[in-house]
């Protein structure tokens, strides 16, 4: 029997690396992307993958994919890697309300609906893994990326509750929490006034995140943070939120230096 693994955002850096690893382990990857061209491009780069078109910013498209999970793959969907994301940098007062809605829809409500569909299918068969790409911005909000932080914080809470609800079902639920990852999204933020807190610590590679996904699947851990050094700082500041406005000017100066180093590295 074929083993299926759903990967959203399969054409992106993280999605591609994780999908290729899953294909190497004999999973048939359902490579989901927002349009036909991207889905085809993603599937072409992943051995044996099936292109799936689903724009997570479109409720009807998400509903259709949820129906397919229930009807077409319910007996052998073993992994759902919910990875699609987007960011529109900018302060809240300057943001287009449509951009706020889009980020919340893609990374929270649509991802939650897909997780629900996967959980229903997997719990019936008594096995499976649901893993999402979250962010340390879910723990320590990023100025200049408020909607992104809100979506990720909501996703963190959703995964935590789903994890508890599925105890004993044979289905594991987890999230991977990187600080910053060398992807097209981070390069966009570096060039378009994204939060400087992205560049305070270590910039992880897509391989690092894929290792985190492997760990979440292998161990069933709810939260996998990387790098661990950044996670310690973020959790400390979450515990003492009054320190954040005091330390923010220093952190942003450090982040600006990190942003310039990052741009120099990526342009060389």
243-260 pLDDT per residue, tens: 999 999 999 999 999 999
* DSSP state for residue 2 in the 8-state scheme: P
Over residues 94-108, the mean pLDDT reads 98
The CA distance from 223 to 139, in Å, is 12
Number of domains in the chain: 1
Element (H, E) at 105: none
User: How much is the pLDDT for 268?
Assistant: 60
* pLDDT tens by residue, 130-183: 999 999 999 999 899 999 999 999 999 999 999 999 999 999 999 999 999 999
* DSSP state for residue 228 in the 8-state scheme: H
Bridge partner list, 133: 176
CA nearest neighbour of 53 among 11, 99, 22: 11
CATH code of the domain in which 206 resides: 3.40.50.720
Tell me the residue range of the domain where 232 lies. 3-267
Residue 116 pLDDT exceeds 70: yes
């Amino acid at each position: 029997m074929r083993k299926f693994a759903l990967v959203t955002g399969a054409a992106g850096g993280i999605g591609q690396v994780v999908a290729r690893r899953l294909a190497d382990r004999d999973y048939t990857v359902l490579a989901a992307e927002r349009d036909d061209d991207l889905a085809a491009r993603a599937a072409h780069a992943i051995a044996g993958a099936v292109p799936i078109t689903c724009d997570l910013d479109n409720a009807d498209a998400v509903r259709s994919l949820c129906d397919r999970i229930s009807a077409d793959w319910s007996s052998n969907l073993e992994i759902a890697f919910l990875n699609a994301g987007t960011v529109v940098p900018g302060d809240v007062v300057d943001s287009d309300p449509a951009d706020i809605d889009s980020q919340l829809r893609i990374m929270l409500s649509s991802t939650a609906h897909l997780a629900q569909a996967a959980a229903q299918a997997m719990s019936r068969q008594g096995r499976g893994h649901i893993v999402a790409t979250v962010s340390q911005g879910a723990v320590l909000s990023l100025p200049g990326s408020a909607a992104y932080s809100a979506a990720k914080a909501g996703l963190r809470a959703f995964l935590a509750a789903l994890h508890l609800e599925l105890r004993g079902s044979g289905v594991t639920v987890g999230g991977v929490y990187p600080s910053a990852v060398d992807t097209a999204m981070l390069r966009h933020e570096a060039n378009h006034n994204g939060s400087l807190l992205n560049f305070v610590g270590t910039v992880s590679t897509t391989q690092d995140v894929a290792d985190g996904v492997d760990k979440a699947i292998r161990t069933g851990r709810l939260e996998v943070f990387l790098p661990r050094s950044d996670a310690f700082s973020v959790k400390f500041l979450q515990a003492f939120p009054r320190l954040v406005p005091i330390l923010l000017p220093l952190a942003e100066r450090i982040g600006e230096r990190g942003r310039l180093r990052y741009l120099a590295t990526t342009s060389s």
